[in-house]
Amino acid sequence: GENVEQHPSTLSVQEGDSAVIKCTYSDSASNYFPWYKQELGKGPQLIIDIRSNVGEKKDQRIAVTLNKTAKHFSLHITETQPEDSAVYFCAASESGGGADGLTFGKGTHLIIQP
Amino acid sequence: GAVVSQHPSRVICKSGTSVKIECRSLDFQATTMFWYRQFPKQSLMLMATSNEGSKATYEQGVEKDKFLINHASLTLSTLTVTSAHPEDSSFYICSASSGFYQPQHFGDGTRLSIL
């Protein structure tokens, strides 16, 4: 089955700086890679996703890059703000996202220092 | 758009009780719903996948007689934890998707505490 590794487990950055979280996956058949933000006591919220036919996707301050050859993908957050503090999860799926369950990484606790 | 509502948000009950958790897609039809379990400060682990009108598919190691899943309509799935014990205490989260190439949207979870 799929295995997703996520690093780092904790990331502390100064407000205004950029944050990068990296994930690797094992199953070359995976073709859908979402990123979720989870705040304390809440469910995960989808913030951006990318499919295997695209190398990069951007949405305002958030971007995701995908390297299929190396089987890794990364989340980039620029101009970080205090409200970006949360736990971020990467995930992978080989079915397009909506038909089978997601395999999640272990999460990154992002702390934005004022 | 894409709102998923989960109820109740928190349950505290005695050992041996059965607990039902509801997951509703409020503004879209969910062809597939998923149930995950999350232990404190850990990742989400898939428990089962359910399609409307079909039996749920359970992940290896998840007891189907313990965790009963019903997906009776395109907007509602329920998870019943039967004869719950303290080791069943966890954060249960559902997600829903409107199609094969559509993302999963998550509810806010149910914190289950068995005394």
Distance, in angstroms, between B36 CA and closest chain A CA?
Answer: 9
Provide residues of B within 8 Å CB-CB of chain A: 4, 6, 31-32, 34, 36, 42-46, 49, 59, 93, 95, 97-109, 111
Confidence of residue B2 (pLDDT cuts 50, 70, 90): confident
pLDDT above 90: percentage of residues in chain A: 89
- Compute the mean pLDDT over every residue in chain B, rounded to the nearest whole number: 94
* Per-residue CA distances from A15 to A35, A58, A64, A83 (Å): 21, 20, 20, 10
Band (pLDDT 50/70/90 cuts) for residue A31 is very high
Mean pLDDT, to the nearest integer, of B25-37?
Answer: 95
Of B4, B103, B109, which is closest to A98 when you measure between CB atoms? Answer: B103
pLDDT per residue over B62-99, tens digit each?
A: 999 999 999 989 999 999 999 999 999 999 999 999 98
Rounded Cα distance, A67 and B9, in Å: 38
B1 contacts B25 by C-beta, under 8 angstroms: no
Single out the residue of A78, A54, A58, A77 nearest to residue A66, CA to CA. A54
Torsion of CA A40, B106, A59, A77, to 10 degrees: 30
Give the model's pLDDT for residue B49. Answer: 95
Cross-chain Cβ contact A101/B34 below 8 Å: yes
Decide: B111 and B7 in contact? Cβ < 8 Å.
Answer: no
Q: How many helices (H) and strands (E) does chain B have?
A: 0, 11
In this predicted structure, what is the pLDDT of residue B14?
96
Whether residue B1 has pLDDT greater than 80: no
Distance of CA A94 to the CA centre of its chain: 16
